[in-house]
Amino acid sequence: MQDLMAILPLVATGAGAILLMLAAAFESFRKEGISIMGIGLFAFAFFVQLAVANSGSFAPYSGVLNGMLATSTFTKVAGLIILACGFFSAIAAQAYFTQNKGFVLEFYCLMLFAACGMLLLTMAAELITLFIALEIMSLAIYALVGYDRKSVRRSEAVLKYLMLGAFAGAFYIMGTVFIYAGAKSTSFRVITDVIATTGFLSNPPLVGGAFLILFAFLFKAAAFPFHAWVVDVYDGAPLPVTGFMATAVKTAVFAVLANFLMISSDLQAAWVDYLFYIAVFTMFAGNLIAIAQNNLKRMLAASGIVHSGYLIIALVAIQAKTFTGGAMLFYLAAYALATLGIFAALSYLAGEEERRVSFDDFKGLARVRPYSAACISIFLLSMAGIPPTAGFMGKFYIIASAFQAGHVSLAILGIVSSILSMWYYLRLIVLMYFREPEDRFEVAEMTLAPLGTIILAICVFAISFYPVVL
Amino acid sequence: MEQTTYLGFIPLLPLAGALVLGVMHVATCQGNRIAEKLYGILGCIGPVLSFILALKLFFSLKGLPAPDRFLTHEPFTWFSVGDLTVPMGFLADPLSSLMLLFVTFVGSLIHVYSIGYMAGDKNFGKFFAYLNLFLGSMLILVLGNSPLVMFVGWEGVGLCSYLLISFYSEERENVVAGNKAFIVNRIGDLGFVLGMAFLFWGIGADGFDYLSLKANAHNLTPALGITVCLLLFVGATGKSAQIPLYVWLPDAMAGPTPVSALIHAATMVTAGVYMVARFSFLYIEVPVAGTVVAWIGILTALLAAVFGMFQNDIKKILAYSTVSQLGYMFAGVGVAAYSAGIFHVFTHAFFKALLFLGAGSVILALHHQQNIWKMGGLKKKLPITYGTVLVGSLALAGCPPFAGFFSKDEILFSALATGHTGIWFIGVIVAGMTAYYTFRMFFVVFHGTPRDRHSYDHAQESPRVMTIPLIVLAIGAGFAGFLNFPAIFGGHQQVSHWLAPSLAEHHPDAGLGVEFLAIGGSVLAFVIGISIAYRKFFGGAEEPVYRGFCKFAANKFYVDELYATIIVRPYRFIGKAIRQMIEPYITDAPAQGVPWLYRMTGWVFKVVQVGYVRVYAIYMVIGLSIMSLLISQSLNL
């Protein structure tokens, strides 16, 4: 029974996706009905995950599945974040498609499949399972980015993502092969034992394999120097999909990265120096790309790179005795709230066919739509890490974890990077509040997305004042 | 220990009132306005309740044996740094209880009077909020149990004086006057802060509240002692308008008249005298500092009296009389007659509040006319104002047996008895000048024939909400002096005895002859002063044209201009030079360069984002290669 409970969220999302696919075949379910069903299924899966959240860490169906899956509080909270991201992205999508063409009935179905893949990814304790989960997620995301085949930009984006993703996927498979050569197994548990007996750095196949696998993850996480695709792909994807990718995918990837690095402290120790430089370069490259952007989506994509940099700081600081997964998840939750909020707001403010996407398009928004402008400002301030918001607490935990692990220079560079990031976050706030409006900002009537935006804005403060750290 | 929580409520009540009134005013100043009556009542509740609590405090202190007459209350820790913990503590002893009594009493009356005076003003609510804040700050100043807590109130009254002096902020002149008061006070505050710092450095380690400081005062080295005393006195010259920082007080007349009354009588200017008395345990150790204080005080008294004789504005005359009387107070505390100084603060509060409120009544009746040469013959039109101002003038001029006579005489007697003959002599001359300018003002305003027929015809007596406080204050100004009835007339000097446990004071022993000399001199000066004024102005006189020395004095010896030339202008010049030379080229240029560099790097990175998949793949391969190379180095085979 406990085993069933542990995989119930997986079942809920998977079955929900199939249910949606079947429903799409019926004439009586059209756009609105499907949207509401999609949102409802995400909410349902979220509560299922919440209901099973209090059951320690163990491997479900270890006899049947041979330890392919492992759950812990860490994976469950990551699952909660992923499903919440799905829920709010679905709300944003509902608003987006009242103003934009190109809706297909399978849209929410694909989102659920992607979420299912992400949940599996967080639980995977074996390299082949991990690969399957990665592909379930990636294929669904590819389809979400490029389902509108008539649009050249979407096609371009999906092509870039697919090709580079395949590139990274190939490295992953290669890494798996090496590891199998080195450890004669693909199970995390066995790899742990092998490293414990033979040592890590004296086992070249293991080193090479782990290296290639990490490489693939860093690609998915958009870390320097594998970050270049992010800006183009995020820009080409529809707004709600961008939001979903930026938050849910990132959560899943960092969860699995943390799991992978936790295989062995020797493995993590061998990687710390590299992760250190990757974190620094990722933060600064992201900042430098972001300041030159005039398009909001591109700026947010680039800022996503910076946030990946912060999360890698937590990976550097990760240690068996002081597991920084809590700080990482809190940061991910805070980042997800702000990003989803901005994308939800943009989904309805962008208007028909994503008309308003550049910085200048939002001049004087505060005069015309003060509440939307206030919410966006809250999200931006949270991303920038200004005190009463969740983003500040997130950065605080991460930087504190770096201090505790003895990486003082990394902590200081993180703070410097956070100051640099003010440039582009405050730029939008300045434009919204201190310029005269040129636009009337008329958008179609809707209730869900603005409501979702306000809920997210409240959450930004709520989780800052009641931080639940693992 | 007795239940003392109510000590905290004494300053808290007016502060809470300020908060409530402020919020009400801010919430309603745009739309529908709240009735003035509501503001007025709410504004008066705090001060009146504080007065009642001050009475309760007074009687509970009275119930204790003399050496134990102090109550303390520490509601919370204000801050703590390392070993130093500073509580937000209150100390009630005979000195602070006496101050509390008249501050809350006179303050309450001024609040009531303001309801009438400010009627119809569009910022009525704001005025009462500031007034409450002012009183609350003053109560913190008086009640604070350490120099630090006192400093909170000290700064609070400075802020409120600024807010209230520039209350009619539509006119630039008023705002400039407010600025002047604030800036001059800040200069004094610097002295106070430095004094506190030296004091802490010297003997602060064993507790920085008055009781600990008093116990450790003898450990202070003489050099440090004189430094501390003089620096603290610099603070006092700012707040209490002494040479050289007195210049703000006459300009402070720009505020509404009740504010002038509050500043001059109950709050603010008395803070300096109170502070010196509070630190009497330091000053008694360093007689040199006391002598400096006394001489500065008496010279200020002389200078202000000279200015006062040639002013035309009714409020300016009163302002200079305040500066002059403050000079007396400092002369008193300077010659170590602390109780005499405080007693003069006490009586002065009554008659100066009375005079200002009376002047306000005249000003209101004449539709904001303040030039005494446009008044005249108002005795018939404003009978109550006339009567009460007469009492106030007699008290100020030092006519026996009004309040001012006893307290001033006490100071002059102490000066003479401690051998400061020069101070006594100047003091007597100033007493004569005081009588002269007070009654010059009085006769010109109320006697003779009306000089401005039109405004005279429209003048009428003020409403009862204003005249009743006048009458109450007149009673105080008439009889408060008897509280410290000197022994020579068979009195008991209650005030001095009451204050004795708080002050480090030696009462000088002097013969009856000295006492008679002092009293005789004062009375003689008074009679001469008033008779000259009577001869020149009683029958009516025209506005004189000042020449020679008189013109020099009427222009206040051009001190303001002097300060502007030697301090303000060079200071401005330096500021301008920094702004035009140093700031743009030396400090700002590198600061501007950093964002420029940052933006340029950003553009470079944007160019690197070419958008071709093959280029992105190459980045990945390059990254992979470099990292492979590095990791192969660390293999350990």
Per residue in A58-102, pLDDT tens? Answer: 777 777 777 788 888 888 888 999 999 999 999 988 888 888 877
Residue B238 tokens read as 């700012």
CA distance A58 to chain B (A): 34
* DSSP symbol at B78: E
Confidence of residue A320 (pLDDT cuts 50, 70, 90): low
Which residue type occupies B594?
Answer: V
Please count the structural domains in chain A.
1
CA distance A290 to chain B (A): 7
B609 touches chain A (CB under 8 A): yes
CA distance B590 to chain A (A): 17
Q: Residue B506: what are its φ and ψ, rounded to 5°? A: -110, 120
* B chain contacts of residue A293, beta-carbon cutoff 8 Å: 606
B23 touches chain A (CB under 8 A): no
This prediction's pTM: 0.67
Residue B40 tokens read as 């007025």
Lowest-pLDDT range, A97-101, B243-247, B454-458, B488-492? B488-492
The predicted pLDDT at position B26 comes to 81
pLDDT digits (tens, 9 = 90+) for B215-241: 888 888 888 889 999 999 999 998 888
**Residue-level length of chain B:** 637
* Coil, helix or strand at residue B43: helix
CB B321 within 8 A of CB B437: yes
CA B155 to chain centre: 10
pLDDT digits (tens, 9 = 90+) for B61-112: 888 887 778 888 888 888 777 777 788 888 888 888 889 998 999 999 999 9
Q: What angle do CA B248, B444, B366 make, to 5 degrees?
A: 75
CB B369 within 8 A of CB B453: no
CB A332 within 8 A of CB A251: yes
Pairwise CA distance, residues B51 & B73, whole Å: 18
Of B322, B313, B351, B359, nearest to B239 by C-alpha is: B322
Confidence of residue A470 (pLDDT cuts 50, 70, 90): very low
Interchain contact, B619 vs A228, CB within 8 Å: yes
- Give the C-alpha distances (Å, rounded to integers) separating B555 from A448, B503, B552, B560: 74, 40, 5, 9
Q: Work out the average pLDDT over B610-624.
A: 85
Region for A243 from its dihedrals, namely left if φ exceeds 0, alpha if ψ lies in -120 to 50, beta otherwise: alpha
Give the one of A224, A288, A293 whose C-beta lies nearest to B601's C-beta: A288
CA distance A229 to chain B (A): 7
Domain that holds residue A50: 2-465
Please, where are the H alpha helices in B366-420? 383-397, 403-417
CB B14 within 8 A of CB B132: yes
**Residue-level length of chain A:** 470
Secondary element (H or E) of residue B632: helix B613-634
Residue B405 tokens read as 């006579």
The predicted pLDDT at position B508 comes to 66
Q: Residue A190: what are its φ and ψ, rounded to 5°? A: -70, -40
Q: Residue B118: what are its φ and ψ, rounded to 5°? A: -90, 5
DSSP string, B304-344: HHHHHTT--BHHHHHHHHHHHHHHHHHHHHHTT-HHHHHHH
A36 touches chain B (CB under 8 A): no
Give the one of B604, B609, B619 whose C-beta lies nearest to A225's C-beta: B619
Q: What is the mean pLDDT of chain A?
A: 86
Give the number of A-B residue pairs with CB atoms closer than 8 Å: 77
Instruction: Give the chain A residue nearest B612 (alpha carbons).
Output: A160
Which residues 173-202 of chain A have a CB within 8 Å of chain B? 199, 201-202
Mutate to test the interface with B, among A162, A211, A275, A291 (most CBs of B within 10 A): A291
* B chain contacts of residue A158, beta-carbon cutoff 8 Å: none
DSSP string, A175-202: HHHHHHHHHS--BHHHHHHHHHHH-STT
The predicted pLDDT at position A283 comes to 92
CB B124 within 8 A of CB B116: no
Sequence-separated (6 or more) residues with CB below 8 Å from residue B161? B134, B178, B181, B182, B185, B252, B263, B268
pLDDT digits (tens, 9 = 90+) for B552-581: 888 888 888 888 888 888 888 998 988 888
Half-sphere exposure in the Cβ direction for A295 (13 Å, CA): 14
CA distance B637 to chain A (A): 5
Of A141, A214, A201, nearest to A171 by C-alpha is: A214
Pairwise CA distance, residues B459 & B381, whole Å: 7
B594 pLDDT more than 70: yes
Cα end-to-end span (Å), chain B: 80
Of B292, B291, B286, B278, nearest to B338 by C-alpha is: B278
Is A441 inside a domain boundary?
A: yes
CA distance B170 to chain A (A): 28
pLDDT digits (tens, 9 = 90+) for B122-171: 888 889 999 999 999 999 999 988 888 999 999 999 999 899 998 888 88
CA distance A199 to chain B (A): 10
Q: What is the mean pLDDT of chain B?
A: 86
Residue A23 tokens read as 């429903």
Percentage of chain A modeled with pLDDT above 70: 96
Sequence-separated (6 or more) residues with CB below 8 Å from residue B43? B17, B21, B111, B114, B115, B128, B129, B131, B132
* B chain contacts of residue A219, beta-carbon cutoff 8 Å: 620
Is A36 inside a domain boundary?
A: yes
A164 touches chain B (CB under 8 A): yes
pLDDT digits (tens, 9 = 90+) for A400-449: 888 888 888 888 999 999 988 888 899 899 988 888 888 777 777 777 78
Pairwise CA distance, residues A33 & B489, whole Å: 102
B618 touches chain A (CB under 8 A): no
Secondary element (H or E) of residue A297: helix A296-316
B630 touches chain A (CB under 8 A): yes
Pairwise CA distance, residues A173 & A42, whole Å: 31
B634 touches chain A (CB under 8 A): yes
Give the one of A160, A231, A285 whose C-beta lies nearest to B613's C-beta: A160
The predicted pLDDT at position A367 comes to 84
Pairwise CA distance, residues B478 & B480, whole Å: 6
Give the one of B595, B609, B631 whose C-beta lies nearest to A231's C-beta: B609
Of B380, B456, B472, nearest to B48 by C-alpha is: B472
B633 touches chain A (CB under 8 A): no
Is A470 inside a domain boundary?
A: no
A255 or A447, which is more confident: A255
Percentage of chain B modeled with pLDDT above 90: 20
The predicted pLDDT at position B607 comes to 79
A159 touches chain B (CB under 8 A): yes
A279 touches chain B (CB under 8 A): no
Annotated domain spans of chain B: 1-145, 171-283, 286-554
Q: Does the complex come out with an ipTM higher than 0.85?
A: no
